């Protein structure tokens, strides 16, 4: 039995129960609140570094629990500090708050109809990656742990982080800026989780060491010469040049990198150029992302990237301007292997042995990686896929059809509680 929990709840219950049963009871009681919070955040999403409403709700909640609250951290971040009555380690728990420029297609009563400005354009906004659930689950864990203040052996730092999806161009933000501003000072260990639309409810996924890829976003501006579409020989066509660059960039991974060592990805996600069918434009912009796991391969890929872009542009008479990295440059998300081994029994007790699954590394990226460079970290994937959806039906994150089964959030609250309490319990026994 977890000693902290048994002490705290001794006066609150008549019938004896295991520590895990008590955590389950707390999560059951909090579930309606957590779902209500999540739906509110989902209906009112905010883009990176613009999470003003979200931050206000979080700060008010933490203050109502009697915590020391700091706002406007890394622009819109919120920190809650819960000091237990007994000495012990400082455990950080992190949730990200920002949404994405995506138009929701899922028919929900709390569907987002929000629009906002993104890179100068009016865009729809949606929580298309589950950050709304992360906020709600951590708010639930904060309420539960605040009720245990007199029996906590240590301090809990609640980190509500803005701009995980990347800061707007020209701005700093996210975990990297939070670290610069001192958020991780005095932290002994940091835990985080991410809900997954492709992982069944009730499941926890983990991987020791490198779990998620490093990411470097890039921007390419191709400058040509404008001409009438009927006379391309009078101009320098950046559109044709961009097509050649896109094809040539794909040869980096397939022909230049030793893929038996580690995976890598180069993706173009946006092209903007031209206004009419019969005008060859003077300029074109491309945005994209690079994912790597190996530091040497990352350097090699960047070098090859610049060579291909510049050489292809030159061969067409165009000029290429490259920004790499552009808006995001996160390192590999690394799970400390000792901490992972230490907390694995907690995960298995929380979700059941058969529901805790070790996975291969994924090419998604997370700026939780900056926190995990400052203190031992453990980042987990939490199931959010409905159990009645067939395995071959997959819905991707960052899409209009992204959907999460809210019943999965209760396991998230239980996981955050058990990780915190067990880590403190083990530290106090040493």
| 406 noted as active-site residue | yes
- Which tokens sit at 367? 């700026």
d(CA 297, CA 264): 8
Question: Among all chains, which residue has been given the structure tokens 């959806």?
Answer: 389
- Which tokens sit at 302? 């960047």
Q: What is the DSSP letter of 168?
A: P
d(CA 403, CA 405): 7
CA atoms within 13 A on the CB side of 42: 23
CB 28 within 8 A of CB 118: no
In the set 46, 51, 406, 423, the catalytic residue is 406
Nearest residue to 248 (alpha-carbon basis) of 213, 274, 286 = 286
Question: Terminal CA-to-CA distance of the chain, rounded, Å?
Answer: 17
Nearest residue to 334 (alpha-carbon basis) of 296, 365, 289, 291 = 365
Burial class (CB in 10 A: 0-12, 13-18, 19+), 275: exposed
- Which tokens sit at 86? 């007994």
CB 220 within 8 A of CB 409: no
d(CA 192, CA 183): 15
| 206 noted as active-site residue | no
Longest CA–CA span in the chain (Å) reads 88
Nearest residue to 236 (alpha-carbon basis) of 197, 288, 196, 273 = 273
Element (H, E) at 153: strand 153-161
In the set 330, 334, 366, 423, the catalytic residue is 330
- Which tokens sit at 173? 């933000």
E-assigned strands of 306-399?
319-323, 329-330, 333-335, 356-358, 377-385
d(CA 126, CA 105): 10
CB 265 within 8 A of CB 363: yes
- Which tokens sit at 312? 């292809």
The residues carrying an active-site annotation are 330, 406
């Amino acid at each position: 039995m977890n000693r902290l929990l048994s002490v705290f709840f001794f006066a609150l219950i008549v019938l004896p129960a295991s520590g895990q049963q008590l955590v389950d009871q707390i999560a059951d009681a909090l579930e309606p609140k957590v779902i209500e919070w999540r739906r509110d955040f989902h209906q009112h999403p905010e883009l990176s570094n613009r999470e003003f409403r979200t931050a206000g709700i979080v700060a008010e909640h933490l203050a109502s629990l009697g915590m020391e609250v700091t706002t406007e951290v890394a622009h819109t971040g919120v920190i809650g500090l819960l000091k237990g009555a007994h000495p012990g380690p400082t455990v950080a728990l992190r949730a990200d708050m920002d949404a994405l420029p995506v138009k929701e297609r899922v028919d929900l009563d709390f569907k987002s109809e929000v629009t906002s400005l993104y890179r100068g354009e009016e865009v729809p906004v949606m929580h298309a990656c589950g950050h709304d659930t992360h906020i709600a689950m951590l708010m639930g864990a904060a309420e539960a742990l605040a009720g245990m203040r007199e029996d906590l052996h240590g301090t809990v730092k609640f980190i509500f982080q803005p701009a995980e999806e990347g800061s707007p161009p020209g701005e700093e933000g996210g975990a990297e800026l939070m670290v610069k501003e001192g958020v991780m000072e005095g932290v002994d260990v940091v835990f985080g989780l991410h809900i997954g639309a492709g992982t069944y409810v009730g499941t926890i996924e983990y991987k020791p060491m490198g779990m998620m890829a490093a990411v470097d976003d890039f921007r390419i501006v191709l400058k040509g010469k404008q001409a009438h579409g009927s006379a391309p020989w009078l101009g320098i066509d950046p559109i044709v040049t961009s097509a050649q660059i896109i094809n040539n960039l794909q040869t980096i991974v397939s022909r230049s990198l030793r893929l038996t060592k580690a995976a890598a990805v180069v993706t173009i996600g946006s092209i903007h150029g031209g206004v009419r069918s019969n005008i060859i434009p003077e300029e074109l912009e491309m945005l994209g992302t690079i994912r790597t796991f190996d530091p040497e391969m990352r350097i090699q890929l960047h070098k090859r990237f610049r060579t291909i872009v510049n050489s292809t542009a030159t061969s067409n008479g165009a000029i290429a301007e490259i920004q790499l990295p552009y808006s995001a440059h996160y390192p590999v998300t690394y799970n400390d292997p000792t901490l992972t081994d230490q907390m694995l029994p907690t995960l298995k007790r929380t979700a059941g042995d058969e529901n805790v699954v070790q996975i291969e590394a994924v090419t998604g990226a997370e700026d939780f990686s900056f926190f995990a460079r400052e203190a031992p970290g453990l980042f987990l994937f939490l199931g959010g896929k409905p159990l009645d959806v067939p395995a071959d039906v997959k819905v991707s994150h960052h899409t209009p059809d992204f959907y999460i089964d809210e019943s999965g959030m209760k396991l998230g609250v239980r996981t955050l509680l058990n990780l915190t309490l067990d880590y403190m319990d083990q530290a106090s026994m040493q």
